[in-house]
Amino acid sequence: MPQKVVIIGGGIVGVSTAYYLSHHESNPSVTLIEASSIASGASGKAGGLLALDWHGNDTASLARLSYQLHASLAEQFNGRERWGYRELTTLEISCTEGKAPSRHVAGVPDWLREGVISKVGNLGTTQSTAQVHPRRFCEAIVKESKNLEVIMGHASKVVLYDDKKVKGVEVEFDGIRETKIIEADVVVVAAGPWTSRLLPNIPVSTQRAHSITISTQTPVSPHALFTNIKLKNGSLATPEIYPRTDEIYACGDVDKHAPLPKFARDVKVDEGRCRQIMKNISVVSEILEYGEITAMQAEIGPGPSVGWVPGMRNVAVAAGHSCWGICNAPGTGKLLTELICEGRISSANIQSLDPGRYTR
C-alpha cells in the first residue's frame, strides 16, 4: 500500500485522481505538482459536455462509470451551483448561410434565427447528456480533496533508482533557480499533452483547438448544439455551441500543427480563428451575433493511456482522453486509485488503454 503518491499535472485527470486517492480508506499522502495553474491547459478551456453512451468499446464502461460519478459529485458537493452541472438536450443542426430552408423545421431552440435551420436531429437527451464548467469543476474538486498538498512547480524528471523503482519527481521552481526532488512511493503522470516529455515511451496526440465564451443579455435554453453550417464561400463550418448557466461557450475545428510550448499558459491564441468561430455561430443566432466575446483561448488535448508504465516500477500514467477527458476524468481517477491502492482495477474495463500496448 503506498504511503506517498505524487501526481504531475493539475488538469482534470490529475485533480480527479488526487480527489479519489485522498479519499481512499488507506489514506495515502497525496501531492499534486502543477506548472502553470490548476486547469491551465485543455481542462480549463474545454466545452464540458458529458455523454453517457457515445463512446467506442475501448472506453464505454469507463464513460458510464464517469458519467455516474459526475452526477454523484455534483449531488454531494452542490455542483449545480459550484460548477454549473446540469443535464442537457443535445441537437445536431444544419443550415446554409444566406439560404432559407424550403419548409418549416420543428424543434429549433427559440434563440436560433428563425427560418435558417434546415435540419434538426436529436443526439442526446437529459438522460444521456449533461455538462460541467470544467475549470470550476477542477478548482472545486481540489478543495474537496482531503489534505491534498499542491506544489506550483515544473516537474522536470521522474527519478528512478537503479532497479527502475520510482524514487520521486525532480521539480524546478519558476523564478528561483532551484530544483528539488519530491520523494514518492508512486508517481502518476497526468500531464496531458506534455506527458511524452516526461515519459517518452508514451505517445500522446497534440491537437490545438480554439474556443470563445460569450455573454448575452438574453438567457438561452440548455441545448448543446453540434452544427453543420455551409458557408457562402462553399466551405463547411462545424462549431459546437454549449450554453452554460452564466455564459455561452463555442469551439471550432482542430489545428493539428501547433507547437507545444513548455507551459500550458503559453499556448498561443490565434485571435483570427476565435473571430471566425464568432462569425460562424452568428449565422445561426442573432443573440450570439450581438453577444460580447469574454474570452478567446486555445488548448491542446492529449490521447488516451491509463495504467502502469512499462519499464518503470510504481509509475502510472493517465494522459487524458482526446476529446473526452472532461467526461472520463472522474472514472479515470477512481480506477487509478483502485490500481494504486488495491492492486487491481475493478469498476470498469480499460484494458485497451493499458500503456503496455505501446511496447508489446
Ligand X SMILES: Cc1cc2nc3c(=O)[nH]c(=O)nc-3n(C[C@H](O)[C@H](O)[C@H](O)COP(=O)(O)OP(=O)(O)OC[C@H]3O[C@@H](n4cnc5c(N)ncnc54)[C@H](O)[C@@H]3O)c2cc1C
Task: Summarize as ranges the residues that interact with ligand X (CB under 6 A).
Answer: 8-14, 33-36, 40-43, 46-49, 154-155, 190-194, 198, 209, 211, 251, 264, 299, 301-302, 319-321, 323-327
Q: Phi-psi bin for 64: left (phi > 0), alpha (psi -120 to 50), beta?
A: alpha
Find the shortest distance in angstroms from Cβ 100 to ligand X.
31
Q: Where are the alpha helices (DSSP H) in 30-162?
A: 42-45, 60-77, 79-82, 134-143
For ligand X, the closer of residues 79 and 192 by Cβ is 192
For ligand X, the closer of residues 194 and 308 by Cβ is 194
CA 313 to chain centre: 28
Closest-CA residue to 174 (of 33, 30, 6, 11): 33
Radius of gyration of the chain (CA): 21
**Whole-angstrom Cα distance, residue 188 to residue 222?**
36
Find the shortest distance in angstroms from Cβ 224 to ligand X.
8
Find the shortest distance in angstroms from Cβ 193 to ligand X.
6
Find the shortest distance in angstroms from Cβ 314 to ligand X.
18
DSSP category for residue 352: G
Closest-CA residue to 127 (of 180, 88, 183): 88
Specify the residue for cell string 436560433: 112
For ligand X, the closer of residues 308 and 324 by Cβ is 324
Phi and psi, residue 8, nearest 5° = -100, 115
Find the shortest distance in angstroms from Cβ 275 to ligand X.
16
For ligand X, the closer of residues 116 and 189 by Cβ is 189
For ligand X, the closer of residues 231 and 254 by Cβ is 254
| Strand bridging mode 117-124 / 240-243 | unpaired
For ligand X, the closer of residues 109 and 302 by Cβ is 302
Find the shortest distance in angstroms from Cβ 155 to ligand X.
4
C-alpha cell recorded at residue 40 = 491551465
For ligand X, the closer of residues 47 and 355 by Cβ is 47
Phi and psi, residue 100, nearest 5° = -75, 145
Find the shortest distance in angstroms from Cβ 130 to ligand X.
10
Find the shortest distance in angstroms from Cβ 358 to ligand X.
17
Q: Are the beta carbons of 3 and 29 closer than 8 angstroms? A: yes
For ligand X, the closer of residues 82 and 133 by Cβ is 133
**Whole-angstrom Cα distance, residue 267 to residue 130?**
28
C-alpha cell recorded at residue 132 = 460541467
